[in-house]
Structure 1
Amino acid sequence: MRVRERHDTLKLKDFSEDLTGGKADASTGTGDMTTQTLSGYLPVMLHPKPERIFVVGLASGVTAGTVAQFDEINLVDVVEIEPSMAHAASFFQHVNQDVLANPKVHLIINDGRNHLLETKAGYDLIISEPSNPWISGVASLFTSEYFQIVNQRLNPGGIFCQWVQCYSISLDNLRMILKTLAQSFQDVQLWTSHLGDLLLIASNEEIVVDRARIDYVRNLNRITESDFSKYLSAKTSGEVFGRLLLDREGVLEFSRGARTNSDNYPYLEFSAPKDIYRHDMEDIYQSILETSRKIVPQPVRALKDEQAQALFLYHKSKVFSGLEPFPKDFIQMALALDDNNEDFYTTYAEILLREKKYADARKIAEKGLEIGKTSDGIQMMIRAISFTGTIDEAFRFLDDNQEFLQNPEVEYGNVFFQAGLFEKAIPYLEQALRKQQGEEYLLAEKLGRCYEAVGDLKKAEHYYELSVQD
Structure 2
Amino acid sequence: MAMVNFSAGILLFASSSYISRLTRNGIAIFATGLLAFLFISMPDNLLKNIFLRNSLGKKEPETLIYLDEGLTTTVAVFNDDDDNLGIKRKSLILNGVNMSASHIHSRKYMTLLSYIPLLLNENPKDVLVICFGTGLTSGAAGVYPGINSVDAVDISPGVFNAAHFFSDENFNAITNPKINKIVEDGRNHLLTTSKTYDVITAEPPPPTNAGAVNLYTKEYYELAKKALNPGGIVSQWIPLHSQTETHIYEHFRTFLESFPYVISWYPAKQELILIGSNDPINIDFKKIDKRLKHPVTNEVMQKIRFENPFALLGSIWFLKEELKIMSSNQKMITDNNPSLEFFLTSPDPISRESIYQFIKNRSSFNTVSTKIINLTYPDQKILKSFWDQRVNAEFAGDVFELGIKFLNMGDARRAIEKLKEAVKLDPRFSLAHYFLGDAFARIGDFKNAETNFKSAIRFQPDYAVAYNDLGNTLAAQGNLEGAIEKYLIAIEKKPDYFEAYNNLGISWNEKGEFEKAIPVFKKAIEIQPLNANAHLNLANSFSVNKNFQEAINHYQTALKLKPKLTQARANLKVVLSQVKNKK
Task: Provide TM-score, normalisation by structure 1.
Answer: 0.71
1:123-202 equivalences under 5 Å are: 123-202=197-276
Alpha-carbon distance in 2 for matches of 1:300, 1:273? 42
The Cα offsets for residues 125-148 of structure 1, whole Å up to 9 and x where unpaired, read as: 000221412222111221111111
The Cα offsets for residues 403-457 of structure 1, whole Å up to 9 and x where unpaired, read as: 989678467358579x999x9x9989866653549xx9xx9xxxxxxxxxxxxxx
1:321 aligned residue (389, 396, 399): 396
Asked if the contact 1:140/1:269 (under 8 Å) is kept, the reply is: no
> Is 1:61 the equivalent of 2:119?
no
> Is 1:434 the equivalent of 2:491?
yes
Identical aligned residues as a percent: 23
Asked if the contact 2:437/2:453 (under 8 Å) is kept, the reply is: no
> Is 1:298 the equivalent of 2:346?
no
> Is 1:249 the equivalent of 2:321?
yes
TM-fit CA distance, 1:121: 1.7
What code does the residue aligned with 2:111 have?
T
Gaps of 5+ in 1: 327-352, 369-373, 444-457, 463-470
> CA 1:323 to 1:259, structure 2 compared with 1: closer, same or farther past 3 Å?
farther
Query: Relative to structure 2, which stretch is displaced further, 293-302 or 80-89?
Result: 293-302
What code does the residue aligned with 1:177 have?
H
TM-fit CA distance, 1:318: 2.5
Q: Which has the larger radius of gyration?
A: 2
Aligned with 1:193: secondary structure?
Answer: strand
Asked if the contact 2:261/2:280 (under 8 Å) is kept, the reply is: yes
> Is 1:312 the equivalent of 2:369?
no
Match of 1:236 in 2: 308
1:298-377 equivalences under 5 Å are: 298-299=368-369, 302=372, 304=377, 305-323=380-398, 356=417
Asked if the contact 1:56/1:130 (under 8 Å) is kept, the reply is: yes
Match of 1:41 in 2: 115
2:292 aligned residue (192, 211, 218): 218
The Cα offsets for residues 208-250 of structure 1, whole Å up to 9 and x where unpaired, read as: 222233333433225x43442332x234211212221101111
> Is 1:90 the equivalent of 2:151?
no
Alpha-carbon distance in 2 for matches of 1:264, 1:396? 60
Match of 2:79 in 1: 6
> CA 1:72 to 1:319, structure 2 compared with 1: closer, same or farther past 3 Å?
farther
> CA 1:357 to 1:29, structure 2 compared with 1: closer, same or farther past 3 Å?
closer
Match of 1:412 in 2: 470
Alpha-carbon distance in 1 for matches of 2:364, 2:448? 43
What code does the residue aligned with 1:55 have?
V
> CA 1:325 to 1:282, structure 2 compared with 1: closer, same or farther past 3 Å?
farther
Alpha-carbon distance in 2 for matches of 1:152, 1:251? 23
Aligned with 1:32: secondary structure?
Answer: helix
Asked if the contact 2:238/2:251 (under 8 Å) is kept, the reply is: no
Match of 1:468 in 2: none
TM-fit CA distance, 1:205: 1.3
> CA 1:309 to 1:420, structure 2 compared with 1: closer, same or farther past 3 Å?
same
Alpha-carbon distance in 2 for matches of 1:399, 1:80? 43
Aligned with 1:84: secondary structure?
Answer: helix
TM-fit CA distance, 1:113: 0.8
TM-fit CA distance, 1:324: 5.4
2:335 aligned residue (259, 263, 275): 263
Asked if the contact 1:394/1:415 (under 8 Å) is kept, the reply is: no
Aligned with 1:292: secondary structure?
Answer: coil
> CA 1:105 to 1:261, structure 2 compared with 1: closer, same or farther past 3 Å?
same
Alpha-carbon distance in 1 for matches of 2:158, 2:137? 18
1:445-460 equivalences under 5 Å are: none
TM-fit CA distance, 1:104: 1.9
Aligned with 1:107: secondary structure?
Answer: strand
> CA 1:252 to 1:323, structure 2 compared with 1: closer, same or farther past 3 Å?
farther
> CA 1:158 to 1:403, structure 2 compared with 1: closer, same or farther past 3 Å?
closer
Asked if the contact 1:41/1:217 (under 8 Å) is kept, the reply is: no
TM-fit CA distance, 1:81: 0.7
Match of 2:359 in 1: 289
Aligned with 2:362: secondary structure?
Answer: helix
> CA 1:309 to 1:58, structure 2 compared with 1: closer, same or farther past 3 Å?
same
1:373-392 equivalences under 5 Å are: 386=440, 391=445
Alpha-carbon distance in 1 for matches of 2:168, 2:213? 31
The Cα offsets for residues 58-108 of structure 1, whole Å up to 9 and x where unpaired, read as: 111111110111231112111111122211113222322222322222122
Alpha-carbon distance in 1 for matches of 2:321, 2:220? 22
> CA 1:286 to 1:300, structure 2 compared with 1: closer, same or farther past 3 Å?
farther
> CA 1:98 to 1:247, structure 2 compared with 1: closer, same or farther past 3 Å?
same
TM-fit CA distance, 1:301: 6.1
Query: Relative to structure 2, which stretch is displaced further, 171-180 or 390-399?
Result: 390-399
Alpha-carbon distance in 2 for matches of 1:400, 1:6? 27
> CA 1:296 to 1:254, structure 2 compared with 1: closer, same or farther past 3 Å?
farther
Alpha-carbon distance in 1 for matches of 2:284, 2:239? 26
> CA 1:375 to 1:281, structure 2 compared with 1: closer, same or farther past 3 Å?
closer
> CA 1:293 to 1:431, structure 2 compared with 1: closer, same or farther past 3 Å?
farther
TM-fit CA distance, 1:395: 8.1
Asked if the contact 1:246/1:296 (under 8 Å) is kept, the reply is: no
> CA 1:14 to 1:355, structure 2 compared with 1: closer, same or farther past 3 Å?
closer
- Between the two proteins, the alignment pairs up a number of residues equal to 406
Query: Relative to structure 2, which stretch is displaced further, 37-46 or 166-175?
Result: 37-46
Asked if the contact 1:282/1:323 (under 8 Å) is kept, the reply is: no
> CA 1:459 to 1:250, structure 2 compared with 1: closer, same or farther past 3 Å?
farther
What code does the residue aligned with 2:328 have?
R
Task: Provide TM-score, normalisation by structure 2.
Answer: 0.58
What code does the residue aligned with 1:37 have?
T
Alpha-carbon distance in 2 for matches of 1:360, 1:283? 20
TM-fit CA distance, 1:36: 2.0
Alpha-carbon distance in 1 for matches of 2:303, 2:309? 15
TM-fit CA distance, 1:112: 0.6
The Cα offsets for residues 178-209 of structure 1, whole Å up to 9 and x where unpaired, read as: 11100110111221233132211111112222
Aligned with 1:321: secondary structure?
Answer: helix
Alpha-carbon distance in 1 for matches of 2:489, 2:364? 45
RMSD: 4.8
Match of 1:335 in 2: none
TM-fit CA distance, 1:307: 2.1
TM-fit CA distance, 1:295: 8.2
